[in-house]
Amino acid sequence: MGSIMFSSLLPKVFANKNICEDSLDKNPGAFNVFKNCGVKMGMICLVLDMLKGIIPVYISTRFLDYNNLWFLLVLISPVLGHAIGMFNDFKGGKCISTSFGVLLGIFHITPIVLVLAFTYIFFVILFMGKSNYKKSIWTYTFFAIISSLILFYNNLNVIALACIDIAIIAIYKHYYAQSHIIADKEMVNDAR
């Protein structure tokens, strides 16, 4: 489910727009749908990107012990699938919506999603007017540290490892996207 890029697919089908081509960062994510297709389409894509994390994780909590290593795979698979974008020519997204979805899927076990939400809010305020990439990289870095401390302390070791893995995937995707934007800008400047 993680590799189904709703934010790329739905704008193509219903608005005849290629979100990846129409955006500077080439990201098939909900933010670019909001920006290029409007609030209604953006909300639909945001909810679907979150649901692809919520649904498999929540269902698996009914069958797997949350300290089982198989549960780690269930937690990181939607995020990794979204990052890779196997069904989108391997052009995945930056995993924000899907990582929130995964964490909402385990809300009945731990409200660790609130750490991610408050950390995001903190860095958005702290870096107001700065690059969204920096905000996200700092957010996921601090989220990995804070969530792992909380979760390891509460013996939720597999969930702690999953939060670290999710953060690493998101940090990599944001760093990778930022470096490509910088390279594209340098190419344009060199061409002038």
* d(C-alpha 38, C-alpha 23), whole Å: 14
DSSP secondary structure letters along 100-163: HHHHHHTTTT--THHHHHHHHHHHHHHTTTS-HHHHHHHHHHHHHHHHHHHHHHTT-HHHHHHH
Specify the number of domains making up the chain: 1
Q: Is residue 112 part of a domain?
A: yes
State the pLDDT at residue 180: 54
State the pLDDT at residue 188: 44
Structure-token pair, residue 166: 């999710």
Q: Is residue 32 part of a domain?
A: no
Three-class SS state of 179: helix
Q: Is residue 64 part of a domain?
A: yes
Q: Is residue 174 part of a domain?
A: yes
State the pLDDT at residue 128: 83
- List strand residue ranges (DSSP E) for 42-186, in order: none
Structure-token pair, residue 135: 């905000």
Q: Residue 149's domain spans which residues?
A: 54-191
Q: Is residue 5 part of a domain?
A: no
* d(C-alpha 31, C-alpha 35), whole Å: 6
Q: Is residue 101 part of a domain?
A: yes
The angle at the Cα of 9, spanning 4 to 12, to the nearest 5 degrees, equals 170
Q: What is the pLDDT along the chain (192 residues), one digit of tens a residue?
A: 788 889 889 999 998 898 878 777 778 888 889 988 999 999 999 999 999 999 999 999 999 999 999 999 999 999 999 999 887 777 888 899 999 999 999 999 999 999 999 999 999 999 887 778 889 999 999 999 999 999 999 999 999 999 999 999 999 998 877 765 554 555 444 455
Q: Is residue 33 part of a domain?
A: no
* d(C-alpha 177, C-alpha 49), whole Å: 19
Place of tokens 């990439």: 133
Q: Is residue 42 part of a domain?
A: no
